[in-house]
Amino acid sequence: MKRWSRRTELSFSLGLALAFAGGVSAATADPAPQVKTSLGAVRGVTSGTVDAFLGIPFAAPPVGPLRWRPPQPGAPWSGVRDATAYGHDCMQKPFASDAAPLGTTPDEDCLVANVWRPHDPSAKSLPVMVWIYGGGFVNGGSSPEVYSGAKLAESGVVLVSFNYRLGRLGFFAHPALRQDHPEEPKGDYAIMDQIAALKWVRDNAKAFGGDPNNVTLFGESAGGVSVHFLMAAPQARGLFQKAIIESGGGRNSVLGVRDMRVDKVGAPSAETLGLAFARRKGVEGDGADALAKLRQLPAEQIIDGYNLASMFTGGPSDFAGPMVDGEVVKESPEAAYQAHHVAKVPVIVGANTADIGFSFAKTVDDALAPLHADHATALRAYDPEGTGNPTAIGTRVSMDAAMIEPARFVARAVAATGEAAYQYRFGYVAQSQRASWASGAPHATEIPYVFDTVRAKYGEALTDQDAGAARLMSAYWLNFARRGDPNGAGLPPWPRHEPKTDQVMQLLPDGTARSGTDPWQARLDLTAAAATH
């Protein structure tokens, strides 16, 4: 049997992904599309009405002496670079139950972007949508099939995705780093990668037919958290004109943003954790020798088996995650929203009806305790059915604190600046999954509806109702990308969020959409009060 090269395999997989996710035919006989980027020319692949350009470097590989440095300019190339296969996703330990499994082998050399556009040479100044994947800042990548931009590009946008460093390669602080290029920002390397990717979009959108002054940034989970950071980052100002946050929290209690250098009660600084990790790897000291030894460690040892699975099962406690570094991240997202230190752009923000929430409460009193509220009032809000089930009640309390109320907090904060804010709650469940997901739409399940990649996700089990829900969801996102307003012909009206009316757009279990006063308003008022308790 003929043994295919890795690139041949990935190119073949791309063709299938475009055909299934985009609902189009196999690659046409048209000449391969070419675009001249700021670093050199690239050759993509056409499938039906969409061109795809994959694995384009937007920065130098962050390896060797560039580990734990801001992304550096990439090296220009001569000739035409092949861009028909995804580049490596960033270094991580994948896990078996990932709902968006990677399509590549992770590697430290991973700072690449992907672009989908309509196959129409006359198309110019199209809206640009830039996707940031989730994964708890320890997993994720741009190669999963469910993130294909083909269907959105079919509808007349340029879709860009990219990779950013993860785990301790993306977030790391150590006293030795202060002496290394002291003029550079430290710590939040993943956020710096995201800013570098947005600058690449600014410089190259026009070459792909996009409008660099009409960029919509959107992300889910850790990608949504990233949008919060980028909303507040001075270096990201002007690089996007609209933002969408899907299940990205927004409160400090959920995001857990550390200080880079200052230890606080119950929250060691990022540098303290970096020193602890180094000692665990046999590296002592805080000088140049220590940093050299840390940079010589294999990437697998830096990741050290830490992923989303181990994050919830007692994994290592010396991973810092995002931190207040004083330059890129000057304050927590919650503080930035409260002080109006965020970009003045229209925003869509929301979460899912069975989003992230955990409870080990043994009694109803235990379940309601985080609310610090009158018992009878809290019970009416969180157990209207009168089940008395402490686990179910506690899960609702936890979910509201983690995702649902913070989305409302962000919508209110954006509205207070005078910008348009649109709040949503996604409650649709694929018909084939309803027996398993009876409590509502779990975390991240809105993604294939946003990208309209439900066929790639559910295959033969996809129903007409599922497909209709995807068309509805993606239409709102596309309208917002075009003009900062999700409303459009044939769609149920989606009013701007105002605190006085507390409007939310619900994507309902029957595949339709309806706006109105938030039915969980009483719950969220209790959660908001507890957040400032």
- pLDDT 10s digit of each residue in the chain, 533 long? 333 333 333 343 344 333 333 333 344 457 899 999 999 999 999 999 999 999 999 999 999 999 999 999 999 999 999 999 999 999 999 998 899 999 999 999 999 999 999 999 889 999 999 999 999 999 999 999 999 999 999 999 999 999 999 999 999 999 999 999 999 999 999 999 999 999 999 999 999 999 999 999 999 999 999 999 999 999 999 999 999 999 999 998 777 799 999 999 889 999 999 999 999 999 999 999 999 999 999 999 999 999 999 887 776 679 999 999 999 999 999 999 999 999 999 999 999 999 999 999 999 999 999 999 999 999 999 999 999 999 999 999 999 999 999 999 999 999 999 999 999 999 999 999 999 999 999 999 999 999 999 999 999 999 999 999 999 999 999 999 999 999 999 999 999 999 999 999 999 999 999 999 999 999 999 999 999 87
CA separation for the pair 360, 177 (Å, rounded): 40
Q: Are strands 421-426 and 503-507 parallel, antiparallel or unpaired?
A: parallel
Residue 294 is predicted with a pLDDT of 98
pLDDT the model gives residue 1: 33
Alpha carbons 74 and 65: distance in angstroms, whole number: 15
pLDDT (0 to 100) of residue 14: 40
- b/e code 296-305 from CB counts within 10 Å (16+ = b): ebebeebbbe
The Cα 442–Cα 309 span in angstroms is 17
- Among positive and negative, which fits the CA dihedral 198, 204, 206, 209? negative
- Distance between CA atoms of residues 506 and 516, nearest Å: 8
State how far the Cα of 246 lies from the Cα of 44, in Å rounded to an integer: 30
Q: What is the pLDDT of residue 315?
A: 65
Dist. CA 244–CA 430, nearest whole Å = 23
Q: Which two tokens stand for residue 334?
A: 């919650």
Tokens of 376: 């009878």
CA separation for the pair 275, 286 (Å, rounded): 8
**pLDDT score, position 23:** 37
Strand duo 503-507 + 126-132: pairing: unpaired
CB 429 within 8 A of CB 449: no
- Give SS3 for 42: strand
DSSP, collapsed to helix, strand or coil, labels residue 117 as: strand
Give the pLDDT of residue 37: 98
**pLDDT value of residue 316:** 67
**Residue of 162, 144, 149 whose CA lies nearest to 50:** 149
**Residue 10 has what pLDDT?**
39
Q: In this structure, are residues 49 and 151 in contact, taking their beta carbons and an 8 Å threshold?
A: no
- Tell me the sheet residues that pair with 445: none
Burial class (CB in 10 A: 0-12, 13-18, 19+), 14: buried
Look up the pTM and report it: 0.94
Note the pLDDT of residue 29.
Answer: 54
Give the per-residue pLDDT at 307: 94
